[in-house]
A and B are shown apart, each in its own frame.
Chain A
Amino acid sequence: MATAAIHNPTATHHDEHHDHAHHHETFLTKYVFSQDHKMIAKQFLITGIVMGVIAMILSILFRIQLAYPDQSFPLFEVLLGKFAPEGRLDPNFYLSLVTIHGTIMVFFVLTAGLSGTFSNLLIPLQLGARDMASPFMNMLSYWFFFTASVIMLSTFFIESGPAGAGWTIYPPLSAVAKSMPGSGLGMTLWLVSMTLFVASSLIGGINYISTVLNMRTKGMDLWKMPLTIWSFFLTAIVGLLSFPVLVAAVVLLIFDRSFGTSFYLSDIYVAGQALPNEGGSPILWQHLFWFLGHPEVYIVLMPALGITSEVIATNARKPIFGYHAMVYSLIGITVLSFIVWGHHMFVTGMNPFLGGVFMITTLIIAVPSAVKTFNYLATLWKGNIRFTPAMLFAIGLVSFFISGGLTGIFLGNAALDINLHDTYFVVAHFHLVMGSAAIFGMLSGIYHWFPKMFGRLMNAKLGYLHFWLTFISAYLVFFPMHFMGLDGVPRRYYSFTEFESMNEWLSVNVFVTWAAILGAVAQVAFLWNFFYSIFFGEKSTQNPWESTTLEWTTPVERIHGNWPGEIPTVYRWPYDYSKPGHNTDFIPQTTPFSETMSSNMPHDFEGNEEAEKIQEEWNAKNVNNTEEVK
């Protein structure tokens, strides 16, 4: 059995091969119900990409509506049928598009597609483990996710259409089926899909946490872990603590919808009829939802930041600046992310005093974010930057993180939020800081670890094209939206034609839509590059980016169990780039200090006196030698 070998790290090279020869993998066990973390990562990635493309197409549909509210597009009617009568999107279907775009992007692409892919791929590879702590659960996690995706998309094929109450599905709109078509069967399926999705996330998260805590190779103590692992680890903790609250909220909503309870409902008169529900509160849903919802944005963002740290250090050929500060700021974000949710609710009728409290906690969370930004800048300083596509996207992330983060200072301020809440300013803010930044982190990771997934390289030049078009179009789309918000244009408006005062934004909407179309077309360069390179890309070498971390010590062939022989031992931190005195500009984590006597520094030994003594002796000898030569 291969699994026996996997759990026996001392098995010799020969034994392992022997085992594999006898273990015949069928198509089903290798590509479909695979328990190999690398294959599961690829499954998450490709499902995530497919979902991302779908969500992007949805956004283009509603962008066209916003740009040309009075124009009829016969193609829409051909494709969408009664969702677009006379070639114009139905207002309720418009809201469904917005809702499903948000749901898919936040959960299916940027949570499962990002964490699912890179946590699965990198946790065992960068920590020196043969696989996840529980490969079977890992497989289960993917198939829950897949089922959730299928259910979510299936709602486009039901008569009343997909859920339409916004991705936050605030009741009573989402709870009362009569209030909009999207709150019928579509909402029921949305809730079922999300429940499965959360199950997938939790199974995955437990697996990530236990793997990080238990399965690190010899020498890999917590402070030698790459920042990617730190971010995945903390992300999994955030998810584990916050997702169950969403499930609780969802279950209560299902009760309200189908079993006549009144958790969120009270005093409602709809469609000519007073509902019997009394005593519930819609605010309760908002508390429960945002208790997940806010940590969720960090679930989306932290892995992207981790990936960026790794990519920037590798390609700037410099150690990440302030490794400890980076970890502590991640921990700070993790803890604080649980006590800021109320800033989504300043004007929802929550007690105004609470609003003040949440404002204080919210602005505190900006401090660790600022530290991370400055550390990125310091890492680039005096670097020797190789602009791989991954590096371009990582720099793009830093730019979006700054631009989007700064507008958070406006929205986190309860007084300013009065006028900005639920306007396009919010749309601009979160699309930059969590949408664009996280997707750039994900793309950066894809370009960087593509060789680890498929043994081939993606085309760099197409990557440059992809980056520049996407980077520019993202700013063109989201920058003007800030000003729409400052003009008091509310979000989720089907068209701006009903208000005289919004007419001035129609031309801007056309501009934004065409920028969005440019951005969408640019993704074709990526999709082509990605799928073409899987089969025909240039063959990769073992360590194409000359990186220090463990995953690049595995063979290009990507075998089950990761390392053919013994799992390597780790001796040093992951960021020894361009260390003075060493002959190459990177020292892998597996290189012991005894082999790098010329470049060791006092702090490398972490107070180990014996090692320090040996180094001192060597230094003394070496200095004598050089003097003699002189």
Chain B
Amino acid sequence: MNLKKYFNLKSLLTVLTFGGLSLGQAMAQATEEAAKNEGLGKTVSYYILLFLLACVFIGIIGKVLQVYELTRKIQGKKSGIAWDKFNGVMFAAALILGLYGAYWSYTEHGSLILPESASEHGVAIDSMFNITLIITTFVFVVTHIILFLFAYKYKHSKKRTAYYYPHNNTLEKYWTIIPAIALTVLVLMGFFIWRGITNIPKDQMASAIQIDVTAHQFAWDVRYAGKDNVNGRKNYKLIGSLNGLNNLGLDLSDKRNNDDLKVNEIVLPVNKSVRFTIGSQDVLHSFYMPHFRVQMNAVPGMPTFFQFTPKVTTAEMQEKTNNPEFNYQLYCAKICGGSHYNMKFLVKVVSEKEYQEWLKEQKPIVTEEMKKEYQLALSKQNSVNNQIALNN
């Protein structure tokens, strides 16, 4: 190692001048643009200098180590520092600090994660998660203890020879079969929970509260199905029709649309099954409500579904999390463009009574104005048709 070569004054100066020059350019540009960039050069050169200082410092340490090793050599002792020992000890230290760090992160960051599931199926997901977490944490800790302790214990020594041990079929069978069994258990549990969530009998589908969600850049439009509990037809070609009033593309010839309700927040009655029909007008979005363990992509041209039962009201959750500001949220979880990070929608879970009261206040999505426009359009179309008929 010859650090002297590259940490001499000359190369340092070169680097500095080079840095200075580019800085000068940057500053010149900056001053041209506006005075707002004043002091930028100073800040940047401060950091560059800091970095160079760190390099010089490391260079000096390298030099010192080299001199030390050389003197040891001259004195005829075994070559200077036992680097194998150093790295072995580092691994032992990394094991202790790493395990403590993992523990700290588990407790410190772990305390910030989502509260217990606010939906019925989420409870099963959470217990599945906990089982998986316990198994994987156990394997994580044990394998790391083995890995780092072996690294420490079997660090190089001239006195020893490694143990020639090319294979052991019994051992290999064990560590093929045991993970296979553990994974089979996890797979089966996961499979049944997954089927339970996604495979809902037809009659339960129909009896659930129907809510239709349409995603677009960068907001959600939500409508409730109203009295008939069926959302009316939509057609993307009708979006913006009726003089721009029809922003969802509702097909007004479908009378089921008339009792559908337009809402500005999702309000759900506790312990009632609710079925979301999710769609998108433009790009992919993802309907993500983490507190309920609910996620489903919104796909243009293909409705997707998610049915679940909320079981904790907002008020209860505020108590549980000890946070009076707490609210359920709907996020977008699939990259969808510039404002992907800002597609929030408020979600509330309330008692049945509160829900009914709230529902009464909601306005139909098909306004009188829209109906008028629709009639107008129809009559126009009819007259055109009549003219065509007459002409024939």
Contacts and interface: CB of A to CB of B under 8 A. Distances in A.
Given A179-B337, A274-B239, A487 B114 contact: yes
8 contacts: A95-B335, A180-B337, A265-B301, A266-B302, A367-B176, A377-B143, A380-B151, A409-B135
Given A406-B140, A459-B1, A359 B194 contact: yes
Contacts of A406: 136, 139-140
Given A179-B283, A322-B172, A387-B155, A409 B132 contact: yes
A367 B195 CA distance: 24
Nearest to A99: B335
B340 A479 contact: no
A174 B237 CA distance: 22
User: Helix, strand, loop or mixed for chain A's interface?
Assistant: helix
Contacts of B92: none
Interface in B285-301: 286, 288, 290-291, 293-297, 299-301
Interface of A: 74-75, 77-78, 90-92, 95, 165-166, 170, 172-173, 176, 179-181, 265-270, 272, 274, 278, 280-283, 316-325, 347-349, 352-353, 355-356, 359-360, 363-364, 366-367, 370-371, 373-378, 380-387, 392, 395, 398-399, 402-403, 406-407, 409-410, 413-416, 418-419, 421-423, 459-462, 464-465, 468, 471-472, 475, 479-480, 482-484, 486-488, 490-496, 498-501, 504-505, 508, 521, 524-525, 528, 532, 536, 538, 575, 577-580, 585
B309 to A, nearest CB: 15
A387 B154 CA distance: 10
Nearest to A345: B297
A499 B340 CA distance: 12
A321 B165 contact: yes
Given A78-B40, A173-B336, A421-B295, A281 B105 contact: no
Interface stretch (B123-131, B267-275, B354-362): B123-131
A348 B295 CA distance: 9
B364 interface: no
A477 to B, nearest CB: 12
A380 B150 contact: yes
Q: Which 3 A-B pairs have the closest CB atoms?
A: A488-B290, A266-B301, A352-B198
B53 interface: no
Nearest to B299: A349
Contacts of A398: 147
A154 to B, nearest CB: 22
Given A95-B340, A374-B175, 8 more contacts: A77-B37, A280-B301, A281-B302, A359-B190, A380-B150, A414-B190, A459-B1, A488-B290
Interface stretch (B253-261, B324-332, B376-384): B324-332
Contacts of B124: 415
B259 to A, nearest CB: 24
A172 B136 contact: no
A495 B344 CA distance: 13
Given A269-B236, A359-B190, A378-B171, A384 B157 contact: yes
B164 A578 contact: yes
Contacts of B199: 352-353
A466 B30 CA distance: 35
Contacts of A387: 83-84, 86-88, 151, 155-156
Interface string B328-348: 010111111111111010000
B183 A282 contact: no
Contact of A78 (B37, B101, B183): B37
A270 B336 CA distance: 12
Contact of B160 (A355, A370, A384, A580): A384
A174 B156 CA distance: 54
A99 to B, nearest CB: 9
A363 B187 contact: yes
Contacts of A577: 162, 164
B283 A385 contact: no
A376 B146 CA distance: 11
Contact of A415 (B58, B190, B291): B190
A395 B151 contact: yes
A180 B338 contact: yes
A493 B151 contact: no
Nearest to B151: A395
A461 B186 contact: no
B297 A349 contact: yes
A575 B165 CA distance: 11
Interface in B164-180: 164-168, 171-172, 175-176, 179-180
A360 B192 CA distance: 12
B44 interface: yes
Interface string B54-71: 110010001001000000
B317 to A, nearest CB: 12
